[in-house]
Structure 1
Amino acid sequence: MADDEGRHQHKSHHFLVVAYGVQGHINPARVLAHRLTQLGVDGSGSVLATLSVQVAAHRRMFPSLDGDMETTDGVISYAPHSDGLDDSSMPKDAEDWVRRRRASSESLSTIVAGLADRGRPVTCIICTMVLQHVLDVAREHSIPLAIYWIQPATVLAVGYHYFHGYDEVIAAHAVDTACEVCLPGLNRPLRIGSFPSYLVDTSGSEMSKAIKDLFRELFEYIDQWRPKVLVNTFNELEENALIEMKQHLDMFVIGPMVGSSMEERIHLFTHDDAEKKRYMEWLGAQQEKSVVYVSFGSMTKKTKKQMDEIIRGLQQCGRPYLLVMRKDGLEDDDGSHSLENPHSQGMVVDWCNQLDVLSHPAVGCFVSHCGWNSTIEAMASGVPVIGVPNMFDQPTNVYLVEEEWGVGVRAQRNIDGVLTATELARCIGLVMDLGEKAMAIRERARALKELVQAAGNIGGSSERDLIDFVETIKAHDTISVNKSMSGSMKT
């Protein structure tokens, strides 16, 4: 009787997915949460998922809600946790990091306890990479933890080996961007200029130091506690890096976590139906593969000088363009600068649904910062990429796009760090004209699109690895229940 009751209590498997509150973390976390609930794991039980982000991000995700209420989209639940300030600001110093970590841990721990009290105990916590407070909560509650690596496996390999013996040799050559370093799992030596920015920063940036410390703690945690690691890539894309990392990590390859263009996405910025209708109708009036789509993500701000160069470059290339640039996206704006030009061949919008735009037949190339989400969304749509990396994993992503996969090119900045109009126009021609290189890039982009779709299809490698992951959590849960039942009987 008691054994039947124990099995019933653990029939449902509940994943608490915790994401950092920025666009690049929230959407892949949400896609993962949705896919987990859709798995029919041998018919033995349902899979529940709750997504938790910081309160400030939750408010932007659901502006119509009253305060910090939990909510649901009919598939997964959303439960915000607090960092103590809830104002979306970055920590000011080391003490501030510690305070926010403590507050976040306490808030998330309360959520975990509350879910258990409501009969929905968390059986596994999944976090997007470097959320220290999640590590604390998983240890406190003895809940299995999985790390959701939302960057390419190549970046995972670079980071792993940096913190396992290669830090000194990389640091010794950090000022020489052309210097090449050989690392296990990489198909060829990697130039310092193509490393993740926080590993080779020479400016003394406090942000780079903080991020490096976060990753150091993450890899120390992985070494000690051996959590599952879910990687948002697929086998055919990064075969050697995945083979290498599977020797060191308990890893599941679950990408590409792109979602569907028909699925409603989370937008942290203003995005209304009227604006969407306007730019989609404009795209519909353009010729096939004629439009240059330009977007540099949700975090980077541009100077007025840089944006003027970009506009001139787009006009020089003579092709229609769709430029995404928020009104608060200029770092030195005094309110007098305007990107609107009624005489140009382009359209400027504050924000857009990127999947819908990239999958539109009018789009011929994507000028991008090459965040990993944007990169795999371009691949899923078969759109060539012009990479203009800024920070984090972006330099490595552009290296992969250009040198490993051949689906785009890297635009070079001048000595002042500015992408000039001439260079942008040159790169657009390089991927959109009728030359041999342009045709090869477009053909490779088409071929890669097919691989992305095959990996993400029902029954594809992504779903198979995700099912295997859930099965391992279910097995752990069953063992825990049996141990608990055995202890109770002995008592």
Structure 2
Amino acid sequence: MNPLLQFAKRLASKGLKATIATTHYTVRSIDAPNVNVEPISDGFDEGGFKQAPDLDTYLENFIAAGSKSLSELIQKLKRSSNPVSCIVYDSMLPWALYVAKEHGIYGAAFFTTSAAVSTIYYQVHEGLLSFSSTTEGPHILSVPGFPKMGYGDMASFLAVPVSYPAYLASVMDQFSNLEMADWVLGNTFEDLESQVAKEMTMPRPMMMIGPMIPSAYLDGRINGDTGYGANLWKPVRDKCLKWLGTKPPNSVIYVSFGSMAELTATQTEELAMGLKGSCKHFLWVLKESEHCMLPNRFIDSTEETMLLVTWCDQLEVLAHQATGCFVTHCGWNSTLEGLSLGVPMVAVPQWTDQPTNAKFMEEVWRVGVRAKMGEKGIVGREEFQLSIREVMEGERSEEFKKNASKWRELAKEAIGEAGSSDKNIDKFVGYLSSD
């Protein structure tokens, strides 16, 4: 939701009227200036996904209720002074494109994964790549423009397809009608994935319009744009900034696994003991429901070095001079934020596209390391400590910092005035405005 919301703000800043259509459950969490917000239904208006009995039921209801309510919204806006001329939809909701075509308006697919991951998914959908679900023996994937990919570097939906049948079906479905889309937009930028872009084979060329990060952290051209304007949970802001303000530059480890990743009790304990053993200050975002997984007396024994919060403003933390390392699951939003704000990373990927993002982070963009998993897919405390030390004080730490700073500047250039992404946004706006 955040990159789509940020794109709406970019469009509004260039003279278009932008409206975010999202579910009743999430609409209450959005407060963004210059962007209109309207609710549509997913069939579970009170509790959202958690209200549904299972994923299949949720998706079926979302297609039916979403198509109907989105169509009604288009009709409502048609009677206003600002009728809808184009629907920009999350690529995981391809039914929105059918609604656009039914009303005779443009449709633009917005991919919130990297160009690399989107390319792999598309090639699998088209039968150009295939994977077996066995883990025995070497399993190397060779794609032009990509580093060599092993079994553990693949998106989990592809590596173990039988484990995620509903999610895999949804991922593949985003390409089911892509040839009907008028544009394909990607939250990435050309310098970051230029080699991948050369090998992309989608029905429409991807217009790279990212990074979709609040303007204050990049080009500063959208007045007051210091945050996305959407929070599912209330961030602990002042406490974090005050605590960070007492720490030396590049001394704090920031740890967050995003809003969806769920660590096991064993993995949580190993990370906790690794952080404690690092003898460094760390700010850890851990859901309140997961605090029970921490080792006995862990909080008491780390009160001098740790700040534990249930949620925070990640951009503010990453931008703070005290932050020297980002321990991340490597979801694409977090990866792009870390790159755009120039913070070296330790990757501990969990599922979906995260292993592939971690592969590029370590071997292509070279801004950190991926902690190696041991038995049962767990990153042990010793390995975790080694990874932290390698990024923050090892022989390659200066290289990681230098590369991170380089990507920060390239991100600013891409979205800045006349940058590659800004030009693509202008093309999109120009086409809609002239029509």
**TM-score, normalising length from structure 1?**
0.81
Q: How does 1:48-87 map to 2 (within 5 A)?
A: 48-59=17-28, 61=29, 73-86=32-45, 87=47
Partner SS for 1:409: strand
Alpha-carbon distance between aligned partners in 1 of 2:58 and 2:176, rounded to the nearest angstrom: 22
Match of 1:119 in 2: 81
What one-letter code is carried by the residue in structure 2 that aligns with 1:193?
G
Identity %, equivalent residues: 31
What one-letter code is carried by the residue in structure 1 that aligns with 2:280?
R
Summarize deviations over 1:256-278 as a string: whole Å, max 9, x none.
1111356133111122xxx3111
Summarize deviations over 1:146-182 as a string: whole Å, max 9, x none.
0111111111111121112234xx3236535851112
Alpha-carbon distance between aligned partners in 1 of 2:373 and 2:288, rounded to the nearest angstrom: 24
Alpha-carbon distance between aligned partners in 2 of 1:79 and 1:462, rounded to the nearest angstrom: 27
Does residue 101 (structure 1) correspond to residue 90 (structure 2)? The answer is: no
Distance of aligned partners of 1:466 and 1:338 in 2 relative to their CA distance in 1, 3 Å threshold? farther
**Which of the numbers 164, 167, 174 marks the counterpart of 1:218?**
174
Partner SS for 2:110: strand
TM-superposed CA distance for 1:334, in Å, is: 8.8
| Contact map agreement 1:102 1:133 (CA 8 A) in 2 | no
| Contact map agreement 2:234 2:311 (CA 8 A) in 1 | yes
Distance of aligned partners of 1:117 and 1:329 in 2 relative to their CA distance in 1, 3 Å threshold? farther
Alpha-carbon distance between aligned partners in 2 of 1:177 and 1:88, rounded to the nearest angstrom: 42
Summarize deviations over 1:237-265 as a string: whole Å, max 9, x none.
11111122277423211111111356133
Does residue 35 (structure 1) correspond to residue 4 (structure 2)? The answer is: no
TM-superposed CA distance for 1:95, in Å, is: 5.4
Give the number of equivalent residue pairs. Answer: 422
Q: How does 1:352-371 map to 2 (within 5 A)?
A: 352-371=312-331
**Which of the numbers 195, 206, 220 marks the counterpart of 1:240?**
195
Q: How does 1:406-421 map to 2 (within 5 A)?
A: 406-421=366-381
Partner SS for 1:118: coil
Q: How does 1:280-295 map to 2 (within 5 A)?
A: 280-295=241-256
Alpha-carbon distance between aligned partners in 2 of 1:436 and 1:88, rounded to the nearest angstrom: 48
What one-letter code is carried by the residue in structure 1 that aligns with 2:9?
H
| Contact map agreement 1:370 1:398 (CA 8 A) in 2 | yes
| Contact map agreement 2:108 2:181 (CA 8 A) in 1 | no
Match of 1:309 in 2: 270
Unmatched segments (≥5 aa) in structure 1: 1-25, 40-45, 63-71, 479-491
Summarize deviations over 1:56-105 as a string: whole Å, max 9, x none.
1123x05xxxxxxxxx7440100011111222226526455333311111
Partner SS for 2:40: coil
Match of 1:486 in 2: none
Alpha-carbon distance between aligned partners in 1 of 2:269 and 2:294, rounded to the nearest angstrom: 15
TM-superposed CA distance for 1:312, in Å, is: 1.1
Give the aligned CA root-mean-square deviation in angstroms. Answer: 2.3
Distance of aligned partners of 1:73 and 1:226 in 2 relative to their CA distance in 1, 3 Å threshold? closer
Alpha-carbon distance between aligned partners in 2 of 1:417 and 1:48, rounded to the nearest angstrom: 47
Does residue 269 (structure 1) correspond to residue 225 (structure 2)? The answer is: no
Does residue 179 (structure 1) correspond to residue 139 (structure 2)? The answer is: yes
Distance of aligned partners of 1:263 and 1:431 in 2 relative to their CA distance in 1, 3 Å threshold? same
Alpha-carbon distance between aligned partners in 2 of 1:318 and 1:448, rounded to the nearest angstrom: 29
**Which of the numbers 351, 357, 360 marks the counterpart of 2:311?**
351
What one-letter code is carried by the residue in structure 2 that aligns with 1:183?
V
Alpha-carbon distance between aligned partners in 1 of 2:97 and 2:361, rounded to the nearest angstrom: 32
| Contact map agreement 1:161 1:183 (CA 8 A) in 2 | no
Partner SS for 2:78: helix
Distance of aligned partners of 1:326 and 1:194 in 2 relative to their CA distance in 1, 3 Å threshold? same
Partner SS for 2:191: coil
Summarize deviations over 1:3-37 as a string: whole Å, max 9, x none.
xxxxxxxxxxxxxxxxxxxxxxx111111000001
Alpha-carbon distance between aligned partners in 2 of 1:451 and 1:362, rounded to the nearest angstrom: 22
Match of 2:222 in 1: none
What one-letter code is carried by the residue in structure 2 that aligns with 1:79?
E
Partner SS for 1:386: strand
Does residue 153 (structure 1) correspond to residue 107 (structure 2)? The answer is: no
Match of 1:65 in 2: none
Mean Cα displacement is larger for which, 290-299 or 208-217? 208-217
Alpha-carbon distance between aligned partners in 2 of 1:364 and 1:109, rounded to the nearest angstrom: 47
Partner SS for 1:166: coil
| Contact map agreement 1:177 1:192 (CA 8 A) in 2 | no
TM-superposed CA distance for 1:216, in Å, is: 2.6
Q: Highest CA radius of gyration, 1 or 2?
A: 1
Match of 1:141 in 2: 103
Alpha-carbon distance between aligned partners in 2 of 1:193 and 1:84, rounded to the nearest angstrom: 36
**Which of the numbers 440, 460, 465 marks the counterpart of 2:399?**
440
Match of 1:17 in 2: none
Alpha-carbon distance between aligned partners in 2 of 1:145 and 1:337, rounded to the nearest angstrom: 53
TM-superposed CA distance for 1:419, in Å, is: 2.0
Match of 1:451 in 2: 410
| Contact map agreement 1:252 1:469 (CA 8 A) in 2 | no
What one-letter code is carried by the residue in structure 2 that aligns with 1:237?
L
**TM-score, normalising length from structure 2?**
0.91
| Contact map agreement 1:235 1:253 (CA 8 A) in 2 | yes
Does residue 194 (structure 1) correspond to residue 162 (structure 2)? The answer is: no
Partner SS for 1:365: strand
Distance of aligned partners of 1:136 and 1:149 in 2 relative to their CA distance in 1, 3 Å threshold? same
| Contact map agreement 1:230 1:253 (CA 8 A) in 2 | yes
| Contact map agreement 2:55 2:166 (CA 8 A) in 1 | no
